[in-house]
Amino acid sequence: MAKTLRSADADSVSRPIGNVAEDWDSAEITFLSNIIVRASVILGRTTITIRDLLELQPGSVIELNKPVGEGLDFVMNGAPFGKVDVTVIEDTYGLRISEIVNPFDV
Chunked into runs of 10 residues, the chain (106 residues) has average pLDDT values of 46 49 60 88 94 96 92 92 93 93 78
Q: 3 lies in a domain? A: no
Enclosing domain of residue 79: 38-106
CATH number of the domain to which 102 belongs: 2.30.330.10
Cα distance between residue 71 and residue 92, in whole Å: 19
Q: 7 lies in a domain? A: no
Contact of 67 with 82, CB cutoff 8 Å: no
Cα distance between residue 76 and residue 57, in whole Å: 31
Q: 52 lies in a domain? A: yes
Q: 1 lies in a domain? A: no
Q: 44 lies in a domain? A: yes
Q: 95 lies in a domain? A: yes
Residue 84, Cβ neighbours under 10 Å: how many? 20
pTM of the model: 0.61
